Every structure is written in C-alpha cells, then in structure tokens.
C-alpha cells in the first residue's frame, strides 16, 4: 500500500466577537488504492514499445488511467533536449528541475538512483489504475514477454510470473504459458480482458 501526506487546516478558536482563525496544520497519511503493476519485457527491437502504445490506447478508450516506467537498459543516460531551461538548471547544479505549463509537467533529476519500488511509489501519486513497466525483466511482477521464436522458449525459465508470451515467427511448442503471435488481435483482446479483471477484483 502506498501513502501520500495531506496537510489539513483546522479552525482552532474564537475570541470575543471576532472570529480569529488559527491555522494548525497536521500531517495525515492517506492510503492510495494500489494500482496493478504489469511488466512488458523481451528482446531489443522485438515490438514491445509498439505493442505498449496500442495497449495504452485500448485502456484509455475503456476509461482506465495508466502510467508507464521505462527502464533505459542500453547503457548511458536517457536522451534529453540539452538547450532547455530545465537542462541548464540541472547542469548548473540543481538536483532536479520541474517545468509546468498548459497542464503538462516535465521533471528532470540527476544524479539519481531509485529502486523500482521507489519509482512505483512516485508514479502512484498520479492515481493510476495501472502502472506498466517496460523492462526490469528480473522483477517479480506479472509479465508479458516478447520472444522471437521457438529457440527462445528455454529463456522463459529465467523469468517469473509470466502471464503472456508473444512470439515473432511460428507458433510455439512446449510453451507452458498463454501465447499468441505479437500481431494477432487475440493477443490484445486477451491482455485487456486480463487487466480489466484485475480492476474488478
């Protein structure tokens, strides 16, 4: 269960005929409904991001709110637009810089090393129904795994909590998990139904 801190303002007392308001702020821990976490993982250039984009559209159409966490697992830092005020703030010594305008917010922070659990807690502030993680394949959250072909099936033994396997070539043999071709409509239908059921429980 995740928590956030809410500050409450209370009227403390009245004096004579005038109402004198004394503000006393108290911290209250308010529980957030824990979002369902799903991982999408697999080989580089296996179609994960394209599939995730389609999934996000499907969930949005059904009225669900989703946030994503992308693990930049190819070495180095994620790319940023260098010639921006926030980038200049960070390069000049700010540990983090937040830019907001027109309903959009962009946060840049470094050097920062957060555990996955800390990232999940941070993203829970947006009150999502789902948090979808692209990457972090060795974590134990429910997973959709992308593989290329039958030769990759043994690699599934290295992972836990696999709910769905999506392959690129021919149908898989001896796969112990629900599987579809990655471009098959039934794959998306199955996953949306699975996620919807998690929200109903």
Phi and psi at residue 140, to the nearest 5°: -105, 30
Copy the structure tokens of residue 38: 């799903």
Q: What is the pLDDT of residue 9?
A: 47
Q: What is the pLDDT of residue 14?
A: 45
For 130-170, the pLDDT digits (tens) are 999 998 989 999 999 999 889 989 889 999 999 999 999 88
d(CA 95, CA 110): 6
Q: What is the pLDDT of residue 44?
A: 78
CATH class of 35-200: alpha beta
Looking at the DSSP assignment, which residues form a beta bridge with residue 148? none
Asked if residue 102 lies in contact with residue 166, where contact means CB atoms within 8 angstroms, the answer is: no
State the residue for tokens 């809410």: 6
Task: List C-alpha distances in Å: 97 to 59, 88, 107, 110.
Answer: 30, 9, 6, 9
For the chain, give the number of residues: 201
Task: List C-alpha distances in Å: 120 to 66, 70, 78, 93, 181.
Answer: 12, 11, 19, 26, 30
State the residue for tokens 């392959």: 167
Q: What is the pLDDT of residue 89?
A: 80
Which segments of the chain have a pLDDT < 70?
A: 1-33, 72-83, 111-112
Q: What is the pLDDT of residue 82?
A: 64
Phi and psi at residue 169, to the nearest 5°: -105, -120
Count of Cβ atoms closer than 10 Å to residue 80 Cβ: 13
The residues spanned by each domain of the chain are 35-200
d(CA 68, CA 144): 14
Q: What is the pLDDT of residue 109?
A: 80
Entry pTM: 0.76
């Amino acid at each position: 269960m995740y928590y956030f801190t809410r500050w409450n303002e209370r009227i403390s007392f009245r004096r004579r005929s005038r109402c004198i308001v004394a503000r006393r702020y108290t911290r209250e821990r308010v529980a957030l409904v824990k979002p369902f976490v799903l991982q999408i993982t697999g080989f580089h250039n296996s179609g994960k991001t394209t599939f995730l984009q389609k999934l996000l559209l499907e969930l949005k159409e059904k009225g669900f709110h989703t946030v994503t966490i992308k693990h930049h697992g190819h070495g180095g830092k994620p790319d940023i637009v260098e010639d921006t005020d926030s980038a200049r703030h960070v390069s000049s010594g700010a540990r983090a810089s937040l830019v907001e305008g027109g309903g959009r917010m962009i946060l840049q922070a470094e050097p920062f090393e957060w555990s996955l659990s800390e990232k999940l807690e941070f993203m829970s502030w947006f009150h999502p129904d789902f948090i979808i993680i692209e990457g972090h394949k060795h974590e134990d959250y429910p997973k959709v795994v992308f593989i290329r072909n039958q030769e990759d099936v043994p690699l599934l033994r290295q992972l836990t909590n696999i709910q769905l396997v999506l392959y690129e070539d021919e149908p898989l043999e001896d796969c112990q998990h629900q599987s579809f071709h990655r471009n098959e409509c039934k794959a998306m239908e199955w996953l949306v139904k699975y996620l919807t059921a998690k929200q109903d429980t």
